[in-house]
Amino acid sequence: MTKDELARLQSYLRKTFGAASLEVKAQPKKNDMAEIFINNDFVATLYRIEEDGEIEYQLQMAILEMDLEEA
């Protein structure tokens, strides 16, 4: 993903989730993947998928049962 894409995605996700501390960071070894952090904690993976000339982004977030007990 380009720096411009990452910045646009970060802006969109900050607004959507109301999380000013959300950061979208490039995954250095993969061009089609980024990582999402909130308050410097890893929370999700973001994938760029291009198919038939269309681009979409998929956010994948795992929630462990033990994390729910802390909430």
- Residue 70 has what pLDDT? 74
What gap in Å lies between CA 21 and CA 43, rounded to an integer?
Answer: 12
Report how many domains make up the chain.
Answer: 1
- Residue 69 has what pLDDT? 85
Please say if the pLDDT value at position 67 is more than 90.
no
DSSP H or E run through 41: strand 41-51
Boundaries of domain holding 54: 3-70
7: which 2 tokens? 């910045």
What gap in Å lies between CA 4 and CA 20, rounded to an integer?
Answer: 18
- Residue 2 has what pLDDT? 93
User: What single-letter DSSP state applies at residue 27?
Assistant: -
Q: Give the global pTM.
A: 0.87
Helices (DSSP H) in the chain: which residue ranges? 3-17, 65-70
Model pLDDT for residues 11-57, shown as the tens digit of each residue = 999 999 999 999 999 998 999 999 999 999 999 999 999 999 999 99
